[in-house]
Amino acid sequence: MIKKKSAGKFFALIVMLCMLVASSVLSVRADEPVVMEQQETGMLYIRLPDFASGTYLELAEVGGFENGRFYLNERFAPSGVVITGLTEASQAQKAADDLAAYAAEHQLSDAEESFYNDGDASPIIFDRLKAEGTLYLIYQKPDVNLDIIKVSPMLILLPYVNAEGESVTEVDVSVKYERPLPLTGAIILTKVDVRNHNVTLQGAEFRLEVKKYDTLGLLKAGDEGVYEDAEGLYRWETVYNNLVTNDEGKLAVEGLPFGVYRFVETKAPVGFVADNTAVVVTVDQGGTYQLKEHRYIEPDFGYVYTLTVENTPTTDVSIPEESSRPYPTESGDESDSSDVDAPSRTSEPTQSSQPQPSLPSEAAQTGDSASKYIVVGVVVGVSLVVVVLLIVLGKKGKKKDDNK
């Protein structure tokens, strides 16, 4: 009996020691959360204008920043491009241009194809990027959509230091770009009352024709519809039929190859006499128009030719009042219905290349979840030790009783 009591006291002492160790470990782990080491990652949001739909952008890791200096990695070092000591914006742009040309030539893009579609108004997103003083190059996929937009290559470092001096890994970037003038022309025609140009006429119908010279020697002088001038024989070929002025008294066409065109009125508005005099215009500058609220047609970009064509009423009646929705005055001389107004031109401002950093992402979790797992692990481990000791001591006690 004395031996069994001693064994019990010994067992109780071991359990107390185990519990003491467990409590001390739990106390330390509860006060000191465990932080899981992870590689810093970043994200770039690339903003493009609405008209740039169909544009692809590429991204390549070209180097980094260390000890106060930029450097190129193994893939781009052979390019020979200098990226240190660049004090002028023009020097940095030249370096980005040269690196983009090298990347395109050697197919060094690190990103999957990133297509911009303005239908959902979403930016192009490059995510899961290293952000440990990593230098990236953004550039346009060669030979794609260059007639619509030319995106200037740019270099950006992750993490990025914003204007407030904060280091951020999620950066919103508005690229710098050029918008080339279209290689096709646009024309806006307005039909007005001869007595008051502020009164526009709906429902006038026109046919648009283009002047085609005989380059193959197939036309003969004197044939019907064949004309001749200093440049040779030509005829007028129909481009569009049944062009009708809207309730603003306007119609518009675009995508016209450079050349000489004429509008022929085929039907006059109700209450007016058709004018059989063709209105001729030479299109040699590119431009586009846009529909505003599905009603009003106005110049959008480049050069837009504006024509004002008059109609005479069928009877001599009083001058009508102005339209309830008068159109804005078009530029140019409107005194002659057959005159072509001076082309309207709208400019496209160059976008800033300075990135617009977004707010920094939320701070990483402090490791409370990891501490909970450690606490559970320690408790389970101590319990297992106690169970094993109970089994061992029980077997030893049984053997001694059997021996007696």
138-192 tens-digit pLDDT: 999 887 778 888 999 999 999 998 888 888 999 998 889 998 888 899 999 999 9
Q: Which of the residue ranges 181-185, 320-324, 329-333, 376-380 would you say has the lowest mean pLDDT? A: 329-333
**Which band of pLDDT confidence, cut at 50, 70 and 90, is reported for residue 104?**
very high
Q: What would the two tokens of residue 365 be?
A: 């979790």
Of 149, 180, 211, the one marking the end of a domain is 180
pLDDT at 63: 95
Residue 273 is predicted with a pLDDT of 94
Instruction: Provide the pLDDT confidence category of residue 110 given band limits of 50, 70 and 90.
Output: confident
192 shares its domain with 158: no
* Residue range of the domain that includes 389: 15-33+368-403
Q: What is the mean pLDDT of the chain?
A: 77
The residues pairing with 295 across neighbouring beta strands, listed in sequence order, are none
Mean pLDDT of 44-72: 90
| Phi, psi dihedral angles at 234 (to 5 degrees) | -155, 170
- Quote the pLDDT of residue 184: 93
Q: Is residue 6 part of a domain?
A: no
User: Which of these three, 180, 208, 235, is where a domain ends?
Assistant: 180
Q: Are residues 310 and 385 in the same domain?
A: no
| Residue 78 forms part of a structural domain | yes
Q: Residue 99: name the closest of 138, 133, 150 by CA.
A: 138
Q: What is the pLDDT of residue 165?
A: 86
At 357 the pLDDT is: 36
What pLDDT, on a 0 to 100 scale, did the predictor assign at position 368?
Answer: 45
d(C-alpha 310, C-alpha 295), whole Å: 21
pTM above 0.75, yes or no: no
- Maximum mean pLDDT: which of 5-9, 175-179, 277-281, 287-291: 277-281
359 within some domain? no
> What is the reported pLDDT for 396?
56
Higher pLDDT, 118 or 136: 136
Per-residue pLDDT at 324 exceeds 60: no
Residue 349 confidence (pLDDT):
40
Please write down the long-range contacts of 34-40, taking CB distance under 8 Å and 24 or more positions apart: 34/367, 34/370, 34/371, 34/374, 35/364, 35/366, 35/367, 36/367, 36/370, 38/364, 39/130, 39/132, 40/130, 40/131, 40/132, 40/159, 40/169
Determine whether 1 is exposed, middle or buried from the number of CB atoms within 10 Å of its CB (0-12, 13-18, 19+).
Answer: exposed
pLDDT(97) > 90: yes
Is the domain of 176 the same as that of 201? no
- Please give the full DSSP string across 308-361, using - where no structure is assigned: EEEEEESS--PPPPPPSSPPPPPSS--SSTTPBPPPEEE--PPPP-S-EEPPPP
Please report, for residues 52, 197, 202, 283, the alpha-carbon distance to residue 335 in angstroms, rounded to integers and kept in the order given: 39, 9, 20, 21
CB 294 within 8 A of CB 192: no
82 with 138, same domain? yes
Q: Which residue has the higher pLDDT, 31 or 153?
A: 153
**What six digits make up the tokens of 170?**
């999620």
What is the percentage of the chain residues whose pLDDT exceeds 90?
Answer: 45
Total residues found in the chain within this entry? 404
Summarised one tens digit per residue, pLDDT across range 349-362 is: 444 444 433 333 33
Return d(Cα 260, Cα 208) in angstroms, integer. 11
Instruction: Tell me which of 297, 316, 346 is where a domain ends.
Output: 346
Q: Which residue has the higher pLDDT, 269 or 389?
A: 269
> pLDDT above 70 covers what percent of the chain?
66
Q: How confident is the model at residue 200 (pLDDT cuts 50, 70, 90)?
A: very high
Q: What is the mean pLDDT of residues 122-142?
A: 90
Q: What string of DSSP letters covers 161-202?
A: E-TTS-EESEEEEE--EE-PPPSEEEEEEEEEETTEEEEE-S
Could you tell me if 164 and 290 lie in one domain? Answer: no
Rounded distance between C-alpha atoms, residue 258 and residue 136, angstroms: 41
What pLDDT is recorded for position 152? 94
Q: Which residues contact 295 (CB under 8 A, 6 or more apart)?
A: 246, 247, 248
Cis peptide leading into residue 299 (ω within 30°): no
Residue 75 has what DSSP assignment? T
Q: If you ran DSSP here, which 8-state letter would residue 217 be given? A: S
**Separation CA 28–CA 23 (nearest Å):** 9
Residue 2, in any domain of the structure: no
Q: What pLDDT is recorded for position 378?
A: 53
**Alpha-carbon separation of residue 58 from 41, 123, 195, 310, 402 (angstroms):** 19, 14, 58, 52, 83
The answer as to whether 355 is a domain residue is no
**Does the residue 233 lie in any domain?**
yes
47 with 174, same domain: the answer is: yes
Q: What is the pLDDT of residue 336?
A: 39
What pLDDT is attached to residue 119? Answer: 55
Residue 174 maps to which CATH number? 2.60.40.10
For residues 313-341, average pLDDT? 46
- What is the per-residue pLDDT for 394? 63
- Answer yes or no: do 281 and 326 share one domain: yes
pLDDT for 379 = 55
Q: How many domains does the chain fold into?
A: 3
In this structure, the answer to whether residues 214 and 285 fall within a common structural domain is yes
Does the pLDDT value for residue 120 go beyond 70? Answer: no
Stretch among 45-49, 133-137, 191-195, 324-328 having the lowest mean pLDDT: 324-328
Mind giving me the DSSP string for 239-273? EEEEEE--TTSEEEEEEEESEEEEEEEEEPPTTEE
Q: Are the C-beta atoms of residues 331 and 344 closer than 8 Å to each other?
A: yes
129 has a pLDDT exceeding 60:
yes
Q: Are residue 192 and residue 326 in the same domain, yes or no?
A: yes
> Looking up tokens 């990695």, which residue turns up?
73
Say if 319 falls within a structural domain.
Answer: yes
Question: Does residue 60 sit in the same domain as residue 166?
Answer: yes
Q: Say what the pLDDT of residue 16 is.
A: 59
Taking the CA of residue 65 as centre, how many other CA atoms within 13 Å lie in the half-sphere pointing to its CB? 16
Mean pLDDT of 226-252: 95
Does the pLDDT at position 12 exceed 80?
A: no
Is residue 116 in some structural domain? yes
Of 303 and 112, more confident: 303
Same domain as 249, residue 208: yes
Same-domain check for residues 176 and 188:
no
